[in-house]
Amino acid sequence: MIKVYNIKRILKITAIILLFAITIAILSNRISMKKAIETSANSKSTYKILVDVEESKLYLFENDILSKEYKCSGGKWSTPSPIGTWTITSKAKWGEGFGGSWMGLNVPWGKFGIHGTLDPYSLGWSSSHGCIRMDNNDVAELYKIIPIGTRVTIVDGVYGAFGRGFRDLKSGMYGADVMEIQKKLKELGFFSGNPNGKFGIETEKAVQKYCKANKLYLRKVIDIELQKQMGFEEID
């Protein structure tokens, strides 16, 4: 009876020790997981996007380090992409024509964003109406990575806001070049509105005021000659 009692006692003590060890392991694991979650939250990645329309490339930076590179397509000469630095303000799962993914930009003169395409052969050259097109699989991947609030910088050529060169601007047109001229006219005191990249009646009136003040012939079109007269220069 003594031997049986001792065996039972030993088994009981062993079970208690084992249970205690399991409890400690579970608590330790929970603490480790909590620390891992806190560390992950504190070291959240920051993303930035650079789109080079001329190269038809979209570059994704994670914590200022190049992370991924994608083929894309930007706007045509007649429908340019919005040159400048913008912010992704919306994300949505749109239909097939947009590759299922849409990331909208806060461009003041129209609805522009990053999305997919039904025509993969349109990628690699300037073929869009101003948006940034990507391969559907690529845009789906990008959609999962970047949050709302991500900064997107779009460049196109060596002329800054004027892209790859000056174009004749008239009422109804839009773009970064229009907004740059509006800023110049506002700086000179001829444009009273807020520069928004849309060439409307207020911009047209400001141009005519500028021409009159500088003894130039009145015009409704901001041609290359007038842009140069305003101080904008092309690079040879």
Active-site amino acid positions: 115, 131
89 burial level (CB within 10 Å; 0-12, 13-18, 19+) = middle
Pair type for strands 132-134 and 65-73: antiparallel
Place of tokens 């991947």: 141
Residue type for 50, please?
L
The DSSP result for 54-115, as a single string, is TTTEEEEEETTEEEEEEEEE-B-SSS----EEEEEEEEE---GGGTT-EEEE--TTS--EEE
Distance CA 204, CA 29 (A): 69
